A and B are shown apart, each in its own frame.
Chain A
Amino acid sequence: MKSRQMIHFLLFFSILGAVLDVSLGDDPSESYWLLRVKAQLNDPSGVLNNWSPEVHVCGWYGVTCSDDQLKMVGLNLTNSGLSGTISPEYGFLASLEMLDLSSNSLTGSIPPELSKLQNLKSLLLYSNSLSSEIPVELGLLKKLQVLRIGDNLLSGKIIPDIGNLSELRVLGLAYCQFKGSIPLEIGNLKNLMSLDLQKNRLSGQIPQEISSCEVLENFAASNNMLEGDIPSWVGSLKKLQILNLANNSLTGPIPTEIGGLSNLRYLNLLSNRLTGEIPRELNGLVQLEMLDLSENNLSGSISLSSTQLKNLNALFLSDNMLTGGLPNNFCWSSSSLKQLILARNELSGKFPLELINCSSLQQLDLSDNNFEGSLPSSLDKLQKLTDLLLNNNSFTGVLPPEIGNISTLENLYLFDNMITGSIPEQLGKLDKLSTLYLYDNQMTGSIPRELTDCSSLTAIDFFGNHFSGSIPATIGRLKNLVVLHLRQNEFSGPVPPSLGYCTKLQLLALADNKLSGTLPPTFQFLSELSTITLYNNSLEGPLPESFFLLKSLRKINFSHNRFEGTITALCGLNLLTALDLTNNSFSGPIPSTLGMSMNLTRIRLAHNHLTGNIPSQLGQLSELTFLDLSFNNLDGNVPSQLSNCGKLEHLLLSNNNYTGAIPSWLGGLEELGELDLSSNALQGSIPRELGNCSKLLKLSLHSNNLSGVIPLEIGNLIALNVLDLQKNKLSGTIPSTIQQCKKLFELRLSENFLTGPIPSELGQLTELQVILDLSRNSFSGEIPSSLGNMVKLERLNLSSNQLQGEVPPSLRKLTSLHMLNLSNNHLQGRLPLTFSGFPLSSFLGNKELCGPPLALCSSQAMEKSLSKGEVAGIVAAIVFVSALICLTMLYMMVRIWCNWRRVLISSSEGSGAELKREEMWIHGNEKRRNNGDYWKMNSWLAPSHEKHPSSTCIFQLKMDVESPDRTSL
């Protein structure tokens, strides 16, 4: 309908036009064309209402006529709320000298017909939504002096034809999407005073031809992609007042020639890649008011001086690599410097006292440098200072009380220094102070009560100091306080009730202190409070019931305190995302209203005295990722509704009294990374569905009453790091699929009823590291030699099983092993030599095992290769002992012959302490007593009932010497 109306409307006008045409003969009047123009415009505010044939055209809105009212010379429709397109019919307004359609919502392209306006001196189309390219025909407007078409959606290249506009004084092309390079032809514009190319996509170098624009006063090409050096010829543009090349990719040094621009008031080279030093010559810029060289790679020391730059208001040198301090003469008494930003450089030395003379300074930022030493007490000479940013330096000493005299001060940042001492009470005089950041210093003492006089304070951050004493009882006077961060100090005493009157408070962090007492009921007034962290204090008692009124709360962390009573007051908060009450004395049930906090992602209620069931309403928490209810007295089943918490990553329910089976729906929790159900009374088997939790890293089910077999599907848990199933009633064999759990570094299956051989596939778990514990089961068969592949394994416990056969020699490859327990099995044969360092207890209870640290196997003794020296020594010893024995035997035989009485033979009496120790453990293990029947003569003294090879004391002695670890016995 609307478009049809429009067509009718247009038709009407064309007819009207035709009529007028006829009535005025063959020279249609300007009013005719203007009405045609009007037809292309939407005019919601009706500014063009008086554009009608009844009114003389010179009286129409925006129209300027010549003095004799014969010619229309100007049309100014700026900021008139117009939309629509620019009609080609403007081209018929031939006498027009000025056309201003700026600051409307015009769309479409610039019509080439505008080039017919040969008298046009000024064309202002900026701040519309004009698109497509600049028509080349604009280059025909020979009289044009001002062309401002920026802040549109114009694109394409900047047409070289602009260079034909030889009268041009102002060229504004900023805030469009022009690309390509700056046309050389701009150099033809000898009258150009202002060239504004900011915020386009121009690339390439700045053309040298611009040096011909000798009367240029304003050259702004910031926010483009210009490259190359800043040309030194810039210094020849003697009229230049504004030079803005910020946010480009210009490289190289700042040309010293810029220092000759005696008219320059504004120089901005922010965020380029300029290198080298700041040229001393810049001190010649006597008119300069603003200098920004920040975010470059400038180095060297600062040689600028406001003594010479007498008009300098603002100096930004931040984010460079400047070194040293400030020059001695940096300031003079009537310096006009108001802003000095030197942040994020490598400036060093003491606080630059020169600055004290810059009495006009309002903003001083020395943050993130290497300044050291103490802060001068004369800082208060800066009586206009509003912002003092000294953070991230190495300032030491105390905070000078004189800072309290800077009555204008609003923001004081001293964080990340090494300030000591206490907060001077004089700070209380700063009634405009809004932000006080003292965090990460070494300050001590208590917060002076006077600080609560600073009624404008919005943010206090004292984190990470050594402040002590109590929080001032008058803190409630800080009515504007939004942030109060006192974490990690030594504050003691109660939380003052008046804190509840800081009703704008959004963040309250009192964690890691020594606060005690209860939370005051006045907290109910903190309706804006979003985050409250009180962890690691000694706060106690029940929570104020009114807590549920704090509807803005998003994060609560009260962990590690002594709170008691129910947690009902914290439940039902709509915006709550994290609730951590770990390690308190909360009791009673988990309220079902907790399920109303639909944004909850983390619930941590571990180590309390909570009772009852898990409310099924928690299943509504679809955003929940962390649920820790461990170490409580919860009972019942795990409610199936939790299966709706599909984002759960941590489910920790250990050390409660849960009964029933492990629910199979756990297998549907795809994000689950940690599942700890240990130390409950869970029964039944491990559901095979758990194998679907492919992201599971830690599965802990130990200390329950689980029975049945370990499901084959355990092998699907390919991400698993830790598997702990110990202390259950699991039976059957270890599924060989476990070899697929390649990332296991801890595997505990001990204290179950597992049977069968240890699968050799276990040896594929080459990343096992912390422990492999299969002890106290009924495993039989041999130890698979593949276990030798677990080269990172540090602890191996196979004790108290029914393992048989030899200890595979491959186990000697377990070089990382420092705990080994093979005791109480039926192992036999010789131990790998590398095991000699383990204590005897590692191998006890294997009747037929031998080799160090157990008794040597006889054959082993013979095989052992010995050095020549050792052989010589042994031979000598044998000879000596044999001789001794022969003599003794001779003597004995004589005695026996004579007396026929029992004689105890000590085979090597001369061997001293070593032998005694040997005897001791032989006595201590009577069963395993040295079966030294190699020398048959002993057999009748201590009859051996064991078959395996044995050895003599001599060789055991030898082994003792070789393995010093034995001394640990």
Chain B
Amino acid sequence: MGLFSLSCLLLPIFLSLSPALSTNSEGNALHALRTRLSDPNNMLQSWDPTLVNPCTWFHVTCDTNNHVIRLDLGNSNVSGTLGPELGQLKHLRYLELYMNGLVGKIPKELGNLKKLVSMDLYGNKLEGQIPKAFAKLKSLRFLRLNNNKLTGPIPKELTTLSNLKVLDVSNNALCGTIPVDGPFASFPMESFENNRLSGPELKGLVPYDFGC
């Protein structure tokens, strides 16, 4: 009994004994992503969390201050879910995860990527809604979410993304109306094809948008 109690006590102590050799949040975030993903092609083999930063990992690009600005895992045969930790990549400009087997919801924490220019999640099996938090992506120019299984409405909040130049949400299961304000005024209809969208939002009328 004594031995058992002792081991019970020592276990947590030993677990936390290793000192914080690296708390580079970006590396930790990416490594957390790695643990979520199934990676049959070993694309993430070089992602060694013991390195000072993730800047020498393949498919990761840093700026001169060693902040991660690109994540290029498009067409990489990875599958699994995205997690909230991706929101810690505060300097990320390009999130290229297109044409993979990603499932589950798009984490709302992606809305924290204030510097994001391009989010390419097209060609996956993502489901759930387009997070309203994307309205915080003030630098976003390219948002390609086409060919997924997204449901729910296109958040009206996205109309505030004044830099948004390209939006593609085609081939999903979105519903409701298509916003017409802000950058949405210039997106072609092809960007919205093959959804359950009920056409453009009618302005100035009693809202007929009963949701989805």
Contact = CB atoms under 8 A, between A and B. Distances in A.
A802 to B, nearest CB: 31
A674 B56 CA distance: 10
Contacts of B19: 437, 439, 459, 461, 463, 483, 485, 507
B23 A697 contact: no
Q: What class of interface size applies to chain A in its complex with B?
A: 35 or more
A270 interface: yes
Contacts of A292: 5, 8
A314 B8 CA distance: 10
B23 A463 contact: yes
Interface in A266-287: 266, 268, 270
B8 A316 contact: yes
Contacts of A533: 52
B166 interface: yes
A674 B23 CA distance: 26
A765 B164 CA distance: 23
Contacts of A480: none
Nearest to B120: A792
B21 A411 contact: no
Interface in A492-517: 507, 509, 511
Interface stretch (B9-17, B169-177, B192-200, B204-212): B9-17
A816 B166 CA distance: 6
A681 interface: no
B165 interface: yes
A464 interface: yes
A391 B19 CA distance: 12
Interface string A669-705: 0000110000000000000000000000100000000
Contacts of B75: 742-743, 767
Nearest to B1: A266
Contacts of A447: none
B5 to A, nearest CB: 5
Q: What class of interface size applies to chain B in its complex with A?
A: 20 to 34
B74 A767 contact: yes
Interface string A356-397: 000000010101000000000000000000010101000000
Interface in A450-467: 459, 461, 463-464
Residue from A389, A439, A815 whose CB has the most chain B CB atoms within 10 Å: A815
Contact of B74 (A313, A463, A743): A743
Given A266-B1, A721-B72, A818-B165, A509 B12 contact: no
Nearest to B15: A343
A607 to B, nearest CB: 11
Contacts of B5: 290, 292, 313-314, 339
Contacts of B120: 792
A521 B66 CA distance: 32
Contacts of A791: 166
A459 B19 CA distance: 9
Nearest to B8: A316
A339 B166 CA distance: 60
Contacts of A626: 56
Nearest to A344: B12
A769 interface: yes
Given A439-B20, A721-B72, 6 more contacts: A314-B9, A363-B9, A365-B9, A367-B12, A439-B23, A767-B74
9 contacts: A341-B8, A341-B12, A387-B13, A413-B16, A437-B19, A483-B19, A557-B52, A745-B72, A815-B165
Interface of A: 242, 266, 268, 270, 290, 292, 294, 313-314, 316, 318, 339, 341, 343, 363, 365, 367, 387, 389, 391, 411, 413, 415, 435, 437, 439-440, 459, 461, 463-464, 483, 485, 507, 509, 511, 533, 535, 557, 626, 649-650, 673-674, 697, 721, 742-743, 745, 767, 769, 791-792, 815-816, 818
